[in-house]
Amino acid sequence: MGRKLQRFVGVIKDKASLTKATLVSPPSSSAADLAVLRATSHHHPSSPPHPHHIAALLSFGHGARPAAAALSSSLSSRLLSTRDPSVALKSLLSLHHLLRSAPFILLDSLFSSLLPKASGRHTRSPLLLSSFPLGPDPVSWSLSSCVRWYSRLLELRIILPNPSSDLADWVSSLLTRDLISELDTLTKFLAEAFSPPELPDGNRLLAEVMRVVNEDRITAENGIAIRLGEVRERIDPVGFGDAVELVFVLRRLEEHRPPSDARWMDDDGQRRFWTEVKEVREKVEEVVVRREKEERAVSRERGVSASDRFGVRTGEVVLFGSNRWVKQ
């Protein structure tokens, strides 16, 4: 009964907000507020935003910059003000669609609105929802947990490297340091995408969230695979420090490999992807071991073994040769 009452109150609030947006707000923000309210209403809490409501949001990217800014501000305010997990999930899902498909002018406004402000309508990031209130019953608890997880995922989503039709050419032009950095960013996103909370069945809103997240997960995996192919091309000349960092990134990626009985691990593409990760990581580890042996050989040629330079006199350089990080 409590949930029904809460839903009824939410619907009444939506109607009041619609009336206010129609009668009181300036024309530019009024249209944006109406579009956001319709896409993220309390009505039908287990249904995702209708495609024509998402299309209405995307249309703000085809006009003037003030219209795009008004929509970004309205969506951010909706995220910051709501305590209803279904409304928050609809807002995050709407944002996700915009991040995937919005024209540049709207994307630019969205990125600006997601940053914390010193003053104004919101002073913290709308995606800072780690303390979103957990509901009093199991269903609300699951939905609120999903809000927390989804907001973390979108924080990583907005900094992902842009996929493009000429991705292989782009990757081949990167410096090795930048290549490793992009792999690290994609790995963090993939790790979060593989770690959703336990979700109830039969909720179409949650099913749509997972569908869109899994599409982005596959895109991230493809991006990682292309970058791993570039790593194979650069293995021999890669430096010791870069090789060590690359091993850590690939190990972290492997730590989040789904169990073999996960539903998507039946796919041949998934098996090939994780086999490629393992093979590249092993090859890079071989490079690290070889580089360390080469450095020791150089030290011996200079007449001082790296392992002998330990605390002989005050002020001497102390070096430690160690293979502890190499997986046995």
In this structure, are residues 49 and 62 in contact, taking their beta carbons and an 8 Å threshold? no
**Do 19 and 91 share a structural domain?**
yes
For residues 212-238, b (16+ Cβ closer than 10 Å) or e, as one string?
bbeebbbebbebbeebbebbeebeeeb
Identify the domain boundary among 158, 188, 208: 158
pLDDT of residue 30: 83
**Do 94 and 38 share a structural domain?**
yes
pLDDT of residue 310: 47
pLDDT of residue 220: 95
**Do 171 and 275 share a structural domain?**
yes
At 238-273, the pLDDT tens digits run 888 999 999 999 999 999 998 776 665 567 888 899
What does the alpha-carbon distance between residue 247 and residue 257 come to, in Å, rounded to a whole number? Answer: 16
Give the N- to C-terminal CA distance of the chain in Å, as an integer.
58
- Rg, C-alpha atoms of the chain: 25
Identify the domain boundary among 158, 187, 221: 158
- Count of domains for the chain: 2
pLDDT of residue 318: 43
- Identity of the residue numbered 231: V
C-beta neighbour count of 146 within 10 angstroms: 25
pTM to 2 decimals? Answer: 0.82
**Do 261 and 173 share a structural domain?**
yes
Q: How many residues are recorded in the chain?
A: 328
At 293-321, the pLDDT tens digits run 887 888 777 765 545 554 444 444 444 44
CATH number at residue 175: 1.20.58
Q: Tell the burial category of 45 from Cβ atoms under 10 Å away from its Cβ (0-12, 13-18, 19+).
A: buried
pLDDT of residue 239: 86
In this structure, are residues 77 and 39 in contact, taking their beta carbons and an 8 Å threshold? no
Q: Tell the burial category of 205 from Cβ atoms under 10 Å away from its Cβ (0-12, 13-18, 19+).
A: buried
**Do 169 and 85 share a structural domain?**
no
pLDDT of residue 166: 85
Helices and strands (H, E) in the chain, number of each type: 12, 0
Identify the domain boundary among 127, 158, 189: 158
pLDDT of residue 320: 43
Token code pair at residue 11:
């619907």
pLDDT of residue 117: 65
Residues of the chain with pLDDT under 70: 1-28, 117-123, 261-266, 303-328
Domain residues for the domain of 152 are 1-158
